[in-house]
Structure 1
Amino acid sequence: MGEAFAQTPKPIRNGDVLTGELRVMRSRAQGKRIETYQVLSEARRIPGPDGMCNLETGPETFQIVTHDPADIGKLKPYIGKNISIKASDMSCASVAGQVSDALISKWSIVQ
């Protein structure tokens, strides 16, 4: 019983801070270079009816959605380091082949 309790993920709500290592994954699609930014964190339960994202322990990898070059510039200094992100809008990954368990589409860096 204690083991099951230890594995219960902490909830994270819109506006809460997520902390973890920022990673970047580089790939090519149709000749275009694509960089995907991801925070590796402890398992969390996100808002919504499927807050566990169909995972036993909840999502641990969170893709940071970048909307423009300025967003990328904000993230680059933190690659490979711990970062704290204020997550304003989160959802479970829904497309087959996505590299993260969940997405953060609105965010800001917490200093």
Structure 2
Amino acid sequence: MTKLFATRLALVATMMLLANPAISAQQDDGALPAPKPGKPINAGEVLSGELNAMKVRDAKNTGKRIAMYQITSEPRRLPAPNGLCNLETGPETFQLVTSSDAQATQLKALVGKEISVKVDEIACASDPGQMSEAVITKWSLIKKQ
């Protein structure tokens, strides 16, 4: 019986020795430095990224499916009072609000491509149905040369 106890005790001690480096490695991972906030973006500046399109239901009208466009970019800080939009690094997805059919047609042809827009008005997403972290309400497309 003591032989069985000694064997189990040795097994537990060996397991503890093997697990100890893994435990200390996990504790070191938790001490990673906090991610740095993205660089700021203000009105009049350029935002570049990949253009995505999603179909969402229009809650205001008949529930009809409409296209929503967003740019996925590096994290950016918004001007005060929006700041980081309650995120550690700032928003990475930016919804482009189209104000005309011409803007929607313009974006439709560029889905999946890298685009650049001049930002005129930007804010954090506030409506519950919004898929992006920030919303660009006034913008203009910059043509690549």
Name the CA distance, whole Å, in 2 between partners of 1:90 and 1:46. Answer: 7
Q: Which amino acid aligns with 2:42?
A: R
Distance 1:26 1:105, change over 3 A: same
- 2:14 aligns to what? none
How big is the shift at 1:87? 0.4
1:84 and 2:113 correspond = no
- Counterpart of 1:48 in structure 2 is 80
The answer for the alignment partner of 2:56 in structure 1 is 27
Q: Which has the higher strand share?
A: 1
The 4+ residue runs of structure 1 with deviation greater than 4 A are none
1:69 alignment partner in structure 2: 101
1:11 has 2:40 as partner: yes
Larger radius of gyration: 2
Instruction: Determine which structure has the larger helix proportion and give its number.
Output: 2
- Unpaired runs of 5+ residues, structure 1, are none
State the percentage of identical aligned residues.
Answer: 53
Indicate the structure whose relative CO is greater, using CA pairs within 8 Å and at least 6 residues apart. 1
Please give the root-mean-square deviation of Cα atoms over the aligned residues, in Å: 1.8
Equivalent pairs counted in the alignment come to 110
Q: TM-score, normalised by structure 1?
A: 0.90
TM-score by length of 2: 0.70
Q: Which runs of 5+ in 2 are unaligned?
A: 1-32
Note the C-alpha offset of 1:71.
Answer: 1.0
Distance 1:8 1:56 in 2: 7
